[in-house]
């Protein structure tokens, strides 16, 4: 297990709000675990997820039904 961080720290790293991090964790889109009422995240796993996100659709943070428009 790597460096354990809070949702706020993950949010700062990913440039996302804390509430977005909680939503992603609840849906299983990013790995995390609860200790009591508090969420914690393994930063090594978050970085690995980002690194691997472009390799396959299954590993992507972005859901397949999300459509991106280039240049807009």
CA atoms within 13 A on the CB side of 49: 19
Query: How far apart, in whole angstroms, are the C-alpha atoms of residue 39 and residue 23?
Result: 11
| Residue 41 confidence (pLDDT) | 96
Q: Considering the entire predicted model, what is its pTM?
A: 0.69
Per-residue pLDDT reduced to its tens digit, 3-53: 999 999 999 999 999 999 999 999 999 999 999 999 999 999 999 998 887
Query: How far apart, in whole angstroms, are the C-alpha atoms of residue 59 and residue 61?
Result: 7
Contact 18, 11 (CB under 8 A): yes
């Amino acid at each position: 297990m790597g460096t354990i961080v809070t949702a706020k720290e993950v949010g700062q790293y990913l440039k996302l709000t804390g509430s977005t991090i909680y939503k992603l964790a609840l849906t299983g889109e990013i790995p995390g675990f609860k200790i009591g009422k508090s969420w914690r995240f393994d930063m090594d796993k978050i970085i690995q997820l980002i690194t691997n996100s472009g390799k396959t659709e299954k590993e992507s943070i972005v859901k397949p039904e999300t459509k991106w428009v280039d240049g807009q």
